[in-house]
Amino acid sequence: MTVTAYTLAVVLDLFVVFIGARFLLQPAPAAAGYGVPAARGGGDPAYLTIKGLRDLTFGLMGLALLAFAGARAEAWFMLLVTLVPLGDTLIVLRHGGAKAVAYGIHFATAVVVLIGAVLLFFV
């Protein structure tokens, strides 16, 4: 179970780093993949950059906690970070995004992050 918990945590953290980097480097396609495309003309680049920076920071913070503070600190971090994909689910639904994206991507991500947190608590 230890290998599974650590592997899942690292994969999730790296995935969030990737998402953040994508929002910084390719904001319009990243927004479309998020489930609420940017407005014509690229939307508001400041908000897309904020999203990218937030995700990049969360991913790096998770990796740092795992490396330097241990599994229990990462577990608490992941438990709290579960709120982000839950909020993303609501944002997509509230702004006319597809329910399949809201539940299939964001809500499913929240469930996987929660599972990762629980596994880390048992390490």
Is residue 27 within 8 Å of 46, Cβ to Cβ? no
> What mean pLDDT is predicted for residues 62-91?
97
Return the pLDDT at 44: 77
Total domains, the chain: 1
| Residue among 34, 45, 42 nearest 91 (CA) | 34
- Domain encompassing residue 97: 2-121
Residue 42 neighbours by CB distance under 10 Å: 11
Return the pLDDT at 64: 98
DSSP state of 26: S
Return the pLDDT at 4: 97
| Residue for token pair 């998770």 | 62
Q: What is the pTM of this model?
A: 0.92
Mean pLDDT (the chain, rounded): 95
